[in-house]
Each structure stands twice: as C-alpha cells, then as structure tokens.
Amino acid sequence: MIYLIMTVMMNGFFLKTSRADLILTPPAGEYGIDSVRVSILYPESIDAEIPVVFFMPGFDGNPDWYFSFLGIERIIENTPVGRSFISVIIDPSFGENPCVWVNSETAGNWEDLICFYLTEEISRWSQENLGAKTRPFCLLGHSLGGFGALRIGSRHPDIFPYIGSVSGIVTADVFDYWTKYIEEENVWASPELYGPEHFFTRLSDEMSLNFTGRGADELFEYHCGKLSVEEMLLEKIKSGGFDILYSLKNGSVAFLNEKIYIASAEKDIVCRVGFHAELCLELGKSGNSGNSKCSVFTADHISVLGPAISECLQFFFPESD
C-alpha cells in the first residue's frame, strides 16, 4: 500500500484529505482477476457513516489520469455538497486484459468483483483506517465506465442506490456510428485507416470479445468497399444484455435505483447526444422521471467530465441534506 498526503477544500471550508493507492488481491480463482488497483480520496474529518462513490473510468482510463489530467481532487474541492464522501477510482487497465465492466471469460468477472469484493474491501478498509461504516455505495462512470455503472447499478440497485453515467456508451448502435471514424485518418489520434491500433478498433475489439467472444475483425465487415457492422453479432450483443437502451426498451431491465444521473456532451463522437436523449426519454416512460437527472453540456467526450462529475455529486449529495 502506498499513501500520499494532499490537501483539498470540501464543503466550503479547508479540510485535509488523504489519498491511498491500494493494490488488492482477490481470493485466488474466485473472480478470474489476480489483482485490482484502486485510488482512494477520503476526508480527514468524517461521520460515523460515510457514502462511497466508485469512479469507473473509460477505456484507456486509469486513476493516474484522473489526478494528473482531470484533477479530480480539484473538482471535489470546488463542488459544494451536503456531506463528505469517500471516492474510490478503479483502475480498469491494471491487469493483463482491459476491463469492460462485465463478467467475462476474457477479462474476468468484474461485475461480481465490484459488487461483492470491492464493496467489502472498501468497507473493511474504512472501518479499520477511518473508524467509519460505509453507506450508501454509488457508481459514477465515464464512457465505457458509464456503461458499466448503468449496467451494474441497474442489476444491483440494493447495493448501488445511486448511479451516474457521463457520456456513457449506452447502446451497441455506437458500433455503426464508429465505422466512419475507423475509416478516416487523424480522427481521435488514429494512425491511419482501419488499423488494429485505432482507438475505436481497440475499444470495439475489447467490447466484442467480452460480450460475444469474437473480436473486431468479425464485428466489422466490408460490403461494396464500405465498413459496416455484422448484424448477427450486433443482435447477440443486444440480446445478451449489453445494450442499456435496448434492454430498457424491451423491459428486460428496470432501474430501481434511488437516483440516476445521465450526462451527455453536444460534441461527443463516442456516444452521440441523441442516444442519451433517447435513454432519458425511456427512463421517464418507465417511471424514473422523479429520481433521475439528465443534463447536456456544450463539451466533448473529455471536457464534459469536470462539470458533469461536479453536478452528479451535487445530485447525489445535495447541500440541503
């Protein structure tokens, strides 16, 4: 365990906050994951019971990026909330295979790990180091992490009553949306054309492998010189419960969470704003309009993170609490 001390402002007054970087080792063979890295931000002065927000980064994201580029501690510093909380940033790229936040033979059982191992470990750590019980648990994800937060949270509302997604990949229809970027040069720092190192190729490959057992080379196909999505694989992804919007529409998932936050960005090229608007509409139809908040920011896929995280934390923990 490595402990780094830092100070931030929370709730409008000066409060020392510590950071702990932990590498946890789950029971051998239980989750198919050898170790998991998390970074924790926690306040020095806390109540006997404190909420925990699990941050779930997107593809290629990690805790270091949240601190060095995003400045997560500054976001927390400038966000007026009604109570202090523990932040736990999970590293999805720490292991041998990138995590896509589901149970799979490829990368291990991440859903189970978060629900039944990380919650217990963070509770134990908080009790031993802070003398505080942890509740409620919350999920807040970005991009692919937003998909994970919504999927895991909707399947386990008893564990995660508060869930949030920022520019989340909420539908498998994004694959078709991505083909135009895969075929173009210099989009999202891509090398050239349809190559294995293109961001969307790598992301599609990991998602398809974990959702269907087949990679991007089978997910995408050329018809008359145009890249398209293989329909049977797309249907397998949707019917397998890996499409949040599709599952909500056909009634195979019900969001029974106490609070649901959805943020989208007008300039997002990963998951366009229309997909999120449709998701929010479906949430309203399913009776979640009173416990959900949907926001659209004039931002892109990355710049939306700061303001959306701040707004989500205020939604979770309003100053009136």
State the CB neighbour count (10 A cutoff) for residue 178: 25
- Predicted pLDDT of residue 179: 80
The Cα–Cα gap between 20 and 4 comes to 6
- The first and second tokens of residue 143, run together, are 């991009």
Q: CB–CB of 59/206 below 8 Å?
A: yes
What are the pLDDT tens digits along the chain (321 aa)?
333 333 333 344 334 578 999 999 999 889 999 999 999 999 877 888 999 999 999 998 999 999 999 999 989 878 888 888 999 999 998 877 789 999 999 999 999 999 999 999 999 999 999 999 999 999 999 999 999 999 999 999 999 999 999 999 999 999 988 887 766 644 433 434 445 667 888 898 899 999 999 887 888 877 776 778 889 999 999 999 999 999 999 999 999 999 999 999 999 989 999 999 999 999 999 888 789 999 999 999 999 999 999 999 999 999 876
Determine whether 321 is exposed, middle or buried from the number of CB atoms within 10 Å of its CB (0-12, 13-18, 19+). Answer: exposed
The Cα–Cα gap between 111 and 233 comes to 22
- Predicted pLDDT of residue 202: 85
List, by residue range, all CATH 3.40.50.1820 domains of the chain: 2-171+243-316
- Predicted pLDDT of residue 300: 94
Rounded to two decimals, the pTM is 0.91
DSSP type of residue 321: -
Class of domain 2-171+243-316: alpha beta
